[in-house]
Amino acid sequence: MPRLSDSMEEGTILEWLKQVGEEVALGDELVEIETDKANMAYESDVAGTLSEILVQEGETVAIGTPIARVDAGDGGGTDERTSAGPVGAGDPPPPAVAKASSGAGPPTPPPAEGTAINAPSTPPQASSRDGRTKASPVARRIALERGVELSGLHGSGPGGRIVKADVENASSAGTEGGVPLGPADTQSGELISSPLVGTSGTPPSVPSAAAAASPSDVETAKGQVTYEDPSKLQSTVARRMAESKATAPHFYLEAEVDMSRLVAARAQIKATAREGDVVPSFNDMVVKACALALREHPRANGAYRDGRFELYSRVNVGVAVAANDALVVPTVFDADRKSLRQIATEARALAGKVRDGQITPPELSGATFTVSNLGMFGIESFAAVINPPQAAILAVGALQERPAVRDGQLVSLQVMTVTLACDHRILYGADAARFLASVKANLEAPLRLAF
């Protein structure tokens, strides 16, 4: 099992893209793996014949565990690996060897024994040797939700693989090329929280989602209880947030920022923008303001780890994005050196990848500080949990119009509340206050963000 992200400790086999007996070339997509951050199609770094699969689909194993044997074909035996060996915990993930799949769904169970699907004489899409339709996890999930039969679709992905767009096109066209799923269609393996009706046709070896979600039908004082297993990403979020609150002594600082000048500046940018130009959002401006302040306050751009202060030369700001019932934090690298327009373009591209399930572990790694914004939901202020091992996280509230007194006159101001959560092991009260004051000053003087 290769290490595909810096925080990965184990991986789950979602789908073998090659079967026993097939030839494997360097760079061929060999297996799809669910990591703690994304689903990755792993490309083989050895050539030969896949002689044995040691870890089956749906199984989870630790980093470094052999998952397959590839016969090198030179009489020298087999290569018991899919990578060049276990990657060290401190090593960066190898982006050139793995690519993100089009979705982040749960592992797909193999077909039940004796129920293998026979491929048609002229299959409309690529299928694996065991007859299973080749489709990305997100495509399987959407197909199950919208009642589209995958075996009737033409795949537009690599090797005829069905991707998200294929299912959406079939669904919007009234399932043209696809047929509604019957109650026994559980090939996606997606866990459904709502009970299924009429699942008597489900093969015995493939339990229905309702059975998996509700081990007991006993009524309690709270009504019927259903259970859902979290995805690997959700489990990682739960573990890291609990670790953060348990190990990092949080304290919080709050400030109100007069955004009136910035609101006016953004209105001018929007008015003069040409068609197709990216107009920076207020969140993009907060990212830039934080990046400039982090450059002036190295402790805020550091971490407390193993009894030492780690201070980083690069200013990489993570932007919290909500997607698929989980929290994902893609990174804008070297944000202090980038223009507002560059930050806006990158942030939009990263958010789109998160929502489409195409974000890669390298894009989720390396952040030295995080910005979390709930202002779009009308939240005035909130306190966020530090993303370990970072020193702090800035929580951004909604922009509000408030009355204020300036030079004895009653005026209307655009005010935004920001809350800084700090790890007291590295960032003390006075240092944190100075950092937050710098962020506030940058936002209240828009010209600072132009450089």
| Dihedral angle computed from the Cα positions of residues 369, 104, 17 and 205, in that order, rounded to the nearest 10 degrees | 140
Q: Do the bridges between strand 392-406 and strand 369-373 make them parallel or antiparallel, or are there none, so unpaired?
A: parallel
Residue linked to tokens 């100075």: 434
Given a contact cutoff of 8 angstroms between Cβ atoms, the answer to whether 164 and 142 are in contact is: yes
Catalytic residue, from 154, 250, 297, 424: name it. 424
Element (H, E) at 241: helix 232-247
Q: Do the bridges between strand 219-220 and strand 392-406 make them parallel or antiparallel, or are there none, so unpaired?
A: unpaired
Given a contact cutoff of 8 angstroms between Cβ atoms, the answer to whether 187 and 105 are in contact is: no
Does the CA dihedral 143-147-149-155 come out positive or negative?
negative
Q: What is residue 298's DSSP assignment?
A: G
Strands (E), 374-446: 392-406, 409-423
Residue 297 annotated as catalytic: no
Decide: helix, strand or coil at residue 8: coil
Given a contact cutoff of 8 angstroms between Cβ atoms, the answer to whether 299 and 433 are in contact is: no
Given a contact cutoff of 8 angstroms between Cβ atoms, the answer to whether 284 and 266 are in contact is: no
What does the block give as tokens for 376?
A: 């779009």
Given a contact cutoff of 8 angstroms between Cβ atoms, the answer to whether 250 and 386 are in contact is: yes
Given a contact cutoff of 8 angstroms between Cβ atoms, the answer to whether 87 and 361 are in contact is: no
CA nearest neighbour of 358 among 103, 14, 162, 97: 103
The CA angle 360-365-370, to the nearest 5 degrees, is: 120
Q: List residues with catalytic annotation.
A: 424
